[in-house]
Amino acid sequence: MEPKITPEVINRLKKGDLAAFDEMYGATIHKVYRTVYVLAPNKQEVNEIVNEIYFQVWKSISNYNDSSPFLFWLNGLVFRQVKNWKMKAWKRAELLRKIKKFSLKESFIDNDIFKSENQDEILSQLSTMPYKLKEVLLLVYYYDYPLKEIASLLRIPIGTVKSRHHTAIKYIQRQRASITGEVGINNAK
């Protein structure tokens, strides 16, 4: 079920009403958190990324244009913040790599989180999937956005969205084939 944010709540939020922020937060936090959890490079930083997203909502709500749905605008913030966070993580990794004189001992990704008994097969497959493929899959199957809207949201050509979607599906098929040991016409390479 899509959370509903009324225009009245948005108008109050634009005026700096904390109660309106609480309403918006309560209606959107679960979906935002799940999205960030799947996309985040380091699962221990999910809460920090989510906090940064809502800080950005508060800071930039005046830029929200009523011509598009609020959740579409919010998802744009979510995906940009995760990308920004990944870039910061990459910069930190580069700095450490230089400090350690190209030592390969440092890693920002905790793969143990994916061994949790609560994670299903798809989540583990998503954990190894490249970010650009992951974001398209989430927007198609979790948010049910049409490919044209995804292209607009991610600011990339629709052909790129289609290509990433196709590549992500093939990636999952190959992962499943390697887990089950099955080789078929569609997943043989």
Instruction: Compute the mean pLDDT over every residue in the chain, rounded to the nearest whole number.
Output: 79
Whether 65 shows a pLDDT value over 70: the answer reads: yes
Whether 110 shows a pLDDT value over 50: the answer reads: no
Say what the pTM is: 0.59
Note whether 74 and 33 are within 8 A (CB): no
Report residue 152's pLDDT band, with 50, 70 and 90 as the boundaries. very high
* SS3 labels along 66-112: CCCCHHHHHHHHHHHHHHHHHHHHHHHHHHHHHHCCCCCCCCCCCHH
The pLDDT assigned to 111 comes to 36
The pLDDT assigned to 126 comes to 75
The domain segmentation of the chain, as residue ranges, is 1-104, 110-189
Q: What is the pLDDT of residues 113-124, one digit of tens each?
A: 333 333 456 666
**How far is Cα 10 from Cα 21, in angstroms, rounded to an integer?**
9
The pLDDT assigned to 108 comes to 31
Same CATH topology for 1-104 and 110-189: the answer is no
Whether 134 shows a pLDDT value over 70: the answer reads: yes
Fold observed for domain 1-104 = Rna Polymerase Sigma Factor; Chain: A (1.10.1740)
Estimate to the nearest angstrom the gap between the alpha carbon of 84 and the chain centroid.
Answer: 11
Whether 94 shows a pLDDT value over 70: the answer reads: no
The pLDDT assigned to 24 comes to 95
188 or 70: which carries more pLDDT confidence?
A: 70
What whole-number percentage of the chain has pLDDT above 90? 46
The pLDDT assigned to 1 comes to 52
CATH class of this structure's domain 110-189: mainly alpha
Tokens 């108008």, residue?
11
Whether 14 shows a pLDDT value over 90: the answer reads: yes
Report residue 181's pLDDT band, with 50, 70 and 90 as the boundaries. low
